[in-house]
C-alpha cells in the first residue's frame, strides 16, 4: 500500500513537470513570434500618391514679343556724347559757368534751356555744382543737377574734361527732388516717388558713367497723400538727344 502511494505521487510529479515545461515552451514561442513580427515586413496600407512637380504655365504661349529696335547694338549708355562747344579756362571745369555750359550743350533739351532764363533767381532750378573725381584720373568731374517742377523731373549730368574738350559722360532723369552721393568713384542716384524709391549706381567704364546695380524699394501700401490713388511715381523724361 505504501508502495502504491509512492508510485502515484511520482507520476503526479512527472506530469506537473511536463506541464510546466510545455507552458514555458509555449510562452517562449509567443515571444519569439512577437519579435519576428516587429522586425519583418508589415502591410502599412495603401502608399500615398506622389504629386507631379509644379511647372510654369504661360498665359499666352503663342505670343512672341517684338524685337526691340537696334537689337545687338550697344545702348546709349555706352556711347560717347557730343562735345560741348565751349572754351575751357585754365582752371578747368572749376572755372566754367554752369549756366553757359548747359546753354551750349547740344545734349540739353529745350525744356531746360528755356528754364535757364530764371537763373539766377528764386525760381532757378539749378543746384549748386559739385566737383568729384569719378573717373580716377586725378581731375574732378562736374556734377550738375537741374530741377524742373513743370515736368516733375530732375536732370543730372556729369561733365568730364579731356584736354580742351568738355563732354557729358552721364545724362539721366529722375523724379523731381532726387538725391545723389558718391561711394568711392561710384555715383549713386536715388529717386523717390509715389511707388517708393529707386536707386541706381553709375561707374566709369572708360567712356561714360555706365549704370550698374539698381535697387527698387517699393513703398508700403498706404493712402497717398496729396495725390490721386493709383498715380505712378515713375517719371517720363523729356526727349533728349541720343549720344552718337
> DSSP string covering 135-186, please?
SSSSS-EEEEEEEEGGGTEEEEEEEEEETTEEEEEEEEEEETT-EEEEETTE
Closest CA to 162 of 135, 131, 132, 128: 135
All three cell numbers of 129, joined, read 555744382
Q: Per-residue DSSP letters for 107-141?
A: TS-HHHHHHGGG-SSTT--BPPPEEE--SSSSS-E
- Does 120 sit behind a cis peptide bond, omega within 30 degrees of 0 on the bond before it? yes
Quote the cell numbers at residue 240.
Answer: 533728349
Integer Cα distance of 75 and 79 in angstroms: 7
Each of the 244 residues of the chain gets a pLDDT tens digit; together they read 444 444 555 566 565 555 565 555 554 555 555 554 455 566 777 777 788 787 766 666 776 655 544 444 444 445 789 999 998 888 889 999 999 999 999 999 999 999 999 998 999 999 999 999 999 999 999 999 999 998 899 999 999 998 889 999 999 999 898 999 999 999 999 988 777 888 999 999 999 999 986 666 655 545 444 443 333 333 444 544 444 4
- Please, is 8 exposed, middle or buried when counting C-beta atoms within 10 Å of its C-beta (0-12, 13-18, 19+)? exposed
Confirm if 82 and 242 have CB atoms less than 8 A apart.
Answer: no
pTM above 0.85, yes or no: no
The three cell numbers locating residue 22? 510545455
Amino acid at each position: 500500500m505504501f508502495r502504491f502511494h509512492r508510485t502515484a505521487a511520482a507520476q503526479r510529479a512527472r506530469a506537473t513537470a511536463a506541464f510546466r515545461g510545455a507552458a514555458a515552451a509555449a510562452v517562449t514561442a509567443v515571444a519569439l513570434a512577437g519579435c519576428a513580427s516587429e522586425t519583418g515586413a508589415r502591410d502599412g496600407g495603401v502608399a500615398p500618391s506622389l504629386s507631379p512637380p509644379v511647372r510654369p504655365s504661360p498665359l499666352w504661349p503663342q505670343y512672341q514679343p517684338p524685337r526691340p529696335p537696334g537689337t545687338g547694338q550697344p545702348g546709349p549708355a555706352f556711347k560717347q556724347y557730343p562735345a560741348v562747344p565751349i572754351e575751357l579756362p585754365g582752371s578747368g571745369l572749376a572755372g566754367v559757368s554752369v549756366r553757359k555750359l548747359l546753354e551750349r550743350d547740344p545734349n540739353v533739351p529745350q525744356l531746360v534751356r528755356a528754364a535757364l532764363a530764371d537763373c539766377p533767381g528764386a525760381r532757378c532750378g539749378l543746384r549748386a555744382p559739385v566737383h568729384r573725381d569719378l573717373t580716377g584720373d586725378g581731375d574732378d568731374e562736374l556734377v550738375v543737377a537741374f530741377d524742373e517742377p513743370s515736368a516733375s523731373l530732375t536732370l543730372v549730368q556729369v561733365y568730364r574734361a579731356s584736354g580742351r574738350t568738355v563732354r557729358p559722360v552721364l545724362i539721366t532723369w529722375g523724379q523731381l527732388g532726387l538725391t545723389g552721393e558718391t561711394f568711392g568713384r561710384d555715383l549713386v542716384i536715388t529717386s523717390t516717388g509715389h511707388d517708393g524709391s529707386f536707386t541706381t549706381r553709375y561707374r566709369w567704364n572708360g567712356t561714360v558713367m555706365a549704370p550698374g546695380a539698381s535697387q527698387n524699394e517699393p513703398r508700403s501700401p498706404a493712402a497717398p497723400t496729396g495725390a490721386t490713388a493709383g498715380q505712378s511715381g515713375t517719371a517720363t523724361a523729356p526727349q533728349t538727344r541720343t549720344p552718337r
